[in-house]
Structure 1
C-alpha cells in the first residue's frame, strides 16, 4: 500500500500521516493548526475510536465507536 507521509502547501496546509502495517491510519497531524488526531482499531482492524489533541498531550476531544 502506498501512502503519502505528508501533504504540504506553504501557508495553507501541512499534514503528516502515519499508518500501521495493516494500512490503518494511525495518526494525522496538522502542523499549521497544531492539531493531531490519533486513531484506535480492534483486532479485526475496525476503527474503535479517535482522540483529537491541540498542542498538548491531553486530548481535547475523545470519540469512541461501540
Structure 2
C-alpha cells in the first residue's frame, strides 16, 4: 500500500487519494470532508472537533486504509 492514512493526514489529501473515503468520513459525521477548509485540517483534528474519541478515530482510519488497500488490488 503506497499511501497510508495516519492521524496527521490532511483531509483534502485523503479525499484526493481515495475518493471513496469522502463517503466514509461523512458516514462518521465529518462534514468537513467536503468543506473547502479541509486542506488545512488533519483527520485527527477534524474528528476531534466533531466529538470523536481516539478509539473511533483509529477505527475510522483503519477502515479508510482498508479501502485504500482494496483499490490497489
TM-score, length of structure 2 as denominator length: 0.18
TM-score, length of structure 1 as denominator length: 0.19
Which structure has the bigger radius of gyration?
Answer: 1
Structure holding more strand per residue: 1
Structure holding more helix per residue: 2
> Relative contact order: is structure 1 or structure 2 higher (C-alpha 8 Å, sep ≥ 6)?
2
